Structure 1
């Protein structure tokens, strides 16, 4: 009993100290939360849509306090650089249905921007600085005059979940598109696409892919489309596609497939009419049959020999090495170090991609 009485003051003191720490921590969390609430309360929505505006009354606006700016359905022909640069807290910017021919370079200052809608304008290109909007989750550039997208857009917009560029004049999608690893929806219908990037395997979260109505231009799909393991909807209708890649048979989550309007040979029409499950089964059987009947490669045709012959592993003549180095420097001139070429941005592309080297489509045979 005496021992317990001696220990009691110590226990009480320890409990008081612990309670004091918890109270201090709780007070700090509450102050932090209150400051965030106060900051959010200072931000507000500005809706100037449908007012037939030719210019913006931005000197009278507190631009830094805007979290959502709606300028849609007006007659704006340009957005001043100085205005965009001061929208430091904007999360949603809607400028659809205007007369814009370009976007300001200062759009790259919008570090908090998550949703950008520029559809229904006359925009011919997107500024490269848009890559600095790394918080961007949704980009809608439908119904413009885009003929290309920034080459490295996929390397920077790592949080982009939806990319809509339908009804433009796009001839191709940049190869960096395959690095939009967070992408869930890609809508590129009604363009002039000649093909899709070969390395699609990194788009592990892509659920919807629509490249329909590229009409006489799009005639093939990359074999890597079968590596889009999250794909639920695929629309390739109204193109010039004759054969679907066998790899589509591996898409276990695929539920909707549209292929009408193509001169389809494989799978045949009677299989297509039976639905997506019959199509997948047909392609899967075709793929298995092809690999089963494939004869083993001859020794002289081994892939190791081919790689050494063409200098891929550092072999080959000095002339071949010079040609290879010239090819690399031509395409990746901004990365003039070995480290640059070995970075994650480039090791998955083109001839640096192991999956492309060993895929059925790119196997080394005579």
Structure 2
């Protein structure tokens, strides 16, 4: 257990690694001179919120419970400091299940954050980029084997990619909420819900995207996606999908399902698609763009409507990208 320390106001480096701490109070991170905090190799599950020791606060004494053995560390004198001066924070090898919300509001100066080896930490809060961009975070270490949101492919690209991804998902989530409140508005006056997740190196469509059921357009160009999951068919409001410059070897037959009847524009340019489903008909879409694929032939149901009227061969070439 840790002894009570009357004052730590001049402390700049604090290492509490390799103990059995299961929680710390957010006040610990707001010590006026503290710059580097090392909490790795503990059993941390949470950071408690300010105000849980109101009686001590009323007496002007801040406390930071460092539980494990039920002890407390007194960490300061009177007065409340709203922001943290901590620049380097290590919380690796712990038991976090989420990024501690109290930390998000106080880490105003953090430039390096290590969250590796928290096997239950699978996502970052969507507001993470709002706080951490202003803090100037430059180094972010995540457990790539566990992280789902942002996907590991994004996380390993660094802070800027993580911030950009979370910002786009957060904005789409905000539009989702707005959409639920405007369903009574005529369709022509509603907002168009589009999500751009291009240039992220994704190998599959993230779960974050599949939860955005109000989306009307998804642009996932210039990634490494090779297939669509079955749950993609539940995005019934989609009218446009763009998967240009990916690694699809087969045209996704899921796009032909009745649940995606609103889908009118489909683009899979510059993939690896060598054949199309036999039941694919050009009447199903207004735009079908497949330029730059190694297509050897086109199904009769795609060609037949084009040959029915004079001059339509040019349309087939533009939409399907084959020599008619």
Whether these two folds match at TM > 0.5 is no
Q: Which structure has the larger Rg over C-alpha atoms?
A: 1
Bigger relative contact order, structure 1 or 2 (CA pairs below 8 A, ≥6 apart): 2
Q: Which has the higher helix share?
A: 1
TM-score range, shorter chain: 0.3 to 0.5
TM-score by length of 2: 0.40
